[in-house]
């Protein structure tokens, strides 16, 4: 009986919301506010993929560019200098493809019609499909090399292929990377599954009239995601595993003929934490295992902006959106005085994206008794068209929102 009373009150409040001129914002859950005394539940799924990234100049390049067309000569392995200019263990060929599936479950509770508190639980999987090979070596492994004795003119780890030894292969390079000096895991496809960083926060509707509304939001990301593996050159973490403070403003306005405009701006302040990193020296491509240390990390703060133009037709809303993300450079500090500038290089960047979205609202149908529960369903496609020091994501996502 008590539950039925709650549902009757919710039905009344929803019917009133539907009848308001500003109903489009609530009907299509643009701000995710919950009615007073009720919960809002949102389930969101995203699938993203890319084979490209943007470098520090803003040029689009293939993923794995840093491991592609690398000449394994004395510039990378100084021990090869004894064989003279042109001595090589081969040239690498590398390509990668990122594929990500991410899900978010959001719960919110309406303290009042204008104040909602809630939490977001994100989780997912990131896969990196890697193709890696080495060819063209003019050196091979010396079958008589004794690794227990220091390399010398009479104990060389390599010999020119003119002596009849087999050229260095991809497997030989993988073994070299896994040696005690470097201690890297094999360069191969990876799959990472787990929790991302959840967010606890609130939404407050600071302004509401017949034509517009302003919602202010604040939240804290809780850094629990597993950090990047310093011994893996190609794995991709679920999240950065860092805690942050997020503040956001959302503005909605009705226009004539069922058009509307929706704008959002967010600022994220990253908190300092500690992570385990290999710290390369200037000009060093492969950092040895001995360079690993726990360093202080302060990821660069970020700003994001969205502008959406929508058109409502009955219970449908069609929208186009522009999105921009800007990120400041990261800052690292070593407790033992190691030069960490290589870790900070090329970490400031931006991304520009466009998005097309269609959403359907069943709130009106539910309020009239024609639907078992209130549902709002959205489907959108987002694509990156320019950037710097970031990934060229293409993204498809769906979102389902309900109240109870």
SS3 70: coil
- Looking up tokens 């008794």, which residue turns up? 369
Residue partners of 163: CB distance under 8 A and separation at least 6: none
Name the DSSP class of 81.
G
Architecture in CATH of 2-403: Beta Barrel (2.40)
User: Which of 142, 134, 152 has the alpha carbon at shortest distance from 79?
Assistant: 152
DSSP 148: T
Per residue of the chain (404 residues), give pLDDT as tens.
433 443 444 444 444 344 343 356 667 777 788 889 999 999 999 999 999 999 999 999 999 888 999 999 998 888 888 898 899 999 999 999 999 999 999 999 999 999 999 999 999 999 999 999 999 999 999 998 888 887 777 888 899 999 999 999 999 999 999 998 899 999 999 999 999 999 999 999 999 988 899 999 999 999 999 989 999 999 999 999 999 999 999 999 999 999 999 999 999 999 999 999 999 999 888 899 999 999 999 999 999 999 999 999 999 999 999 999 999 999 999 999 999 999 999 999 999 999 999 999 988 888 888 888 889 999 999 999 999 999 999 999 999 999 88
pLDDT for 334 equals 97
Spell out the residues 6+ positions from residue 8 whose beta carbon is closer than 8 angstroms to its own. none
Coil vs helix vs strand at 55? coil
Long-range contacts of 158-161 (CB under 8 A, 24+ apart): 158/80, 158/83, 158/89, 160/83, 160/87, 161/137
**What torsion, rounded to 10 degrees, do the Cα atoms 70, 73, 74, 78 define?**
80
- The reported pLDDT for the residue numbered 32 is 84
Tokens of 85: 């200019």
Domain ranges in the chain are 2-403
Q: What is the DSSP letter of 225?
A: S
E-strand stretches of 142-189? 158-160
Q: What is residue 11's predicted lDDT score, i.e. its pLDDT?
A: 43
Q: What is the pLDDT of residue 312?
A: 93
What pLDDT does residue 25 have? 66
Secondary structure (3-state) at 161: helix
| Nearest-angstrom CA–CA distance, 91 and 106 | 48
Instruction: Retrieve residue 401's tokens.
Output: 């929102």
**What gap in Å lies between CA 180 and CA 178, rounded to an integer?**
7
pLDDT at 346: 95
**CA distances to 193, 233, 241 from 228, in Å:** 13, 10, 9
CB 372 within 8 A of CB 23: no
For residue 12, the model assigns a pLDDT of: 40
């Amino acid at each position: 009986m008590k539950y039925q009373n709650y549902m009757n009150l919710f039905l009344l409040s929803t019917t009133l919301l539907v009848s308001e001129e500003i109903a489009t914002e609530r009907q299509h859950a643009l701000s995710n506010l919950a009615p007073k005394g009720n919960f809002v539940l949102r389930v969101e799924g995203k699938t993203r993929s890319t084979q490209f990234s943007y470098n520090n100049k803003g040029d689009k390049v293939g993923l794995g560019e840093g491991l592609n067309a690398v000449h394994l000569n004395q510039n990378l392995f100084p021990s090869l200098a004894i064989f003279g200019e042109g001595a090589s263990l081969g040239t690498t060929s590398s390509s990668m493809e990122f594929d990500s599936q991410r899900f978010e479950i959001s719960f919110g509770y309406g303290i009042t019609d204008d104040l909602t508190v809630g939490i977001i639980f994100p989780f997912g999987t990131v896969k990196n499909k890697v193709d890696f090979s080495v060819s063209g070596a003019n050196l091979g492994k010396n079958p008589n090399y004794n690794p227990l004795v220091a390399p010398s003119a009479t104990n060389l780890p390599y010999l020119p292929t003119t002596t009849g030894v087999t050229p260095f292969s991809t497997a030989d390079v993988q073994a070299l990377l896994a040696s005690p000096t470097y201690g890297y895991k094999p360069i191969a496809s990876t799959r990472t599954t787990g929790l991302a960083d959840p967010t606890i926060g609130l939404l407050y509707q600071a302004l509401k009239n017949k034509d517009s509304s302003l919602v202010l939001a604040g939240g804290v990301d809780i850094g629990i995601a597993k950090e990047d593996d310093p011994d893996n050159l190609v794995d991709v973490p679920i999240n950065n595993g860092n805690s942050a403070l997020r503040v956001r403003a959302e503005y909605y306005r009705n226009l004539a003929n069922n058009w509307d405009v929706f704008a959002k701006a967010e600022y994220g302040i990253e908190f300092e934490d500690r992570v385990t990193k290999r710290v390369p020296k200037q000009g060093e491509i492969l950092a040895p295992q001995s360079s690993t240390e726990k360093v202080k990390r302060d990821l660069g703060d970020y700003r994001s902006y969205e502008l959406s133009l929508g058109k409502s037709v009955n219970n449908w809303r069609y929208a186009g959106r522009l999105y921009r993300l800007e990120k400041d450079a990261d800052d690292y500090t070593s407790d033992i005085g190691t030069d960490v500038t290589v870790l900070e290089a090329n970490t400031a960047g931006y991304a520009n994206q466009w998005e097309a979205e269609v959403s359907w609202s069943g709130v009106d149908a539910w309020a009239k008794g024609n639907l078992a529960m209130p549902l709002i369903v959205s489907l959108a496609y987002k694509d990156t068209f320019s950037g710097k020091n970031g990934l060229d994501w293409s993204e498809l996502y769906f979102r389902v929102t309900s109240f109870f």
